[in-house]
Amino acid sequence: MKETLTFDDILLIPKYSEIKSRSEISLQISIPKAAQLSLPIISSPMDTVTESDMVVAMAIAGGLGVIHRYNTIDEQEKIVSMARKILPSDASIAAAIGVSGDFVNRAEALYDAGADVLCVDIAHGHHILMKEALKALRDSLGNSVHLMAGNVATLEGFNDLADWGADSIRVGVGGGSICSTRVMTGHGVPTLQSVIDCAKSDRSALLIADGGIKQTGDVVKAIAAGADLVMLGSMLAGTDEAPGETFYVDGIKSKSYRGMASAAAQIDWRGHVASEEGVSHRVSVKGPVIKTLEGIEKALRSGMSYSGAINLSTFQAGSNIIRITQASLVESKPHILQG
């Protein structure tokens, strides 16, 4: 039986470095058919993470926000148009669509409104419906739109989606902080392992690590393991730009963060619960998202300097990953109070 690893199972070995200032490090990444990013971070297409404020803030910070699809075509199109008015003409705007019903109409409306990245967003992306959807989208919109697709957990899935026309692929099944897919269905692969496996692909599609990235060190590890980009839900939830009202729980100012397959989210967007594979939770409010993104950027630059890597591709190609024991994991976190 294959042994698999996730973020807390590994560390990166520090390497000889000639980087004298972290500002020398480039975090730039080219996105085919879209704008270059200066921060390899994407916000999740979830109704408690990415609507208008988040998509604008992500673009201003150099990353990318994916507007969720749990609304009417009109509502989603308005968010894209509004973002297009605010953002500089060369910034990319990404919006999510599904694979059934009126998804081609939705894609056309979003594309016409100014979205240049469309994210085909389903839980089990290695699926014939994904293959058919990617074909229908290419037939309708041609080759100039960037198609992001997912999620997949395996190299086979990654290669198939790339061959079906995806320009970037979300990798990770069952690892999200609000996800109960593994509990409910027994399926999934630890996210880091999926990244390691999919990074072996010879296809040119970009690899997006998605689900279970809970701290800045995990962002660094995901890229070292071969991710080109990292998608974040919980790390961005609770910021000022995340949609939703604030409320107090035990005196703590909070916002809701919920899986899109949670009962609460499904009832809101489709009126009934199909398969419940997510949970709804509260998170403490965090202030402006730029503060969180700056923290991630600093940690990524610092992490890359520990590996002596001047840019993202050198970092992916040259980092040394080791497996650690449970005792090492204890040592890896502040542990002064445990002595």
Report the interface residues with ligand IMP, using CB under 6 A.
44, 46, 151, 176-179, 181, 210-213, 231-234, 259-262, 277-278
Which residue in the list 181, 191, 216, 239 is annotated as catalytic? 181
Which residue in the list 48, 50, 119, 179 is annotated as catalytic? 179
Cβ proximity to ligand IMP: between 11 and 148 the closer is 148
Q: What's the rounded Cα separation, in Å, for the pair 47 and 238?
A: 12
Q: Tell me how far, at minimum, the Cβ of 272 lies from ligand IMP, in Å.
A: 15
Q: What's the rounded Cα separation, in Å, for the pair 39 and 223?
A: 12
Closest alpha carbon to 168 in 195, 148, 154: 148
Q: What's the rounded Cα separation, in Å, for the pair 39 and 230?
A: 10
CB 258 within 8 A of CB 240: no
Q: Please report which helix (H) or strand (E) contains residue 323, including its range.
A: strand 321-323
Whether 181 sits among the annotated catalytic residues: the reply is yes
Q: What are the angstrom distances between the C-alpha of 100 and each of 200, 263, 272, 337? A: 31, 20, 17, 53
Q: Tell me how far, at minimum, the Cβ of 148 lies from ligand IMP, in Å.
A: 11
Q: Tell me how far, at minimum, the Cβ of 207 lies from ligand IMP, in Å.
A: 14
Q: Tell me how far, at minimum, the Cβ of 89 lies from ligand IMP, in Å.
A: 28
Cβ proximity to ligand IMP: between 77 and 210 the closer is 210
Whether 4 sits among the annotated catalytic residues: the reply is no
Cβ proximity to ligand IMP: between 121 and 297 the closer is 121
In one-letter notation, the amino acid at residue 73 is I
Cβ proximity to ligand IMP: between 25 and 293 the closer is 293
Catalytic residues, which ones? 179, 181
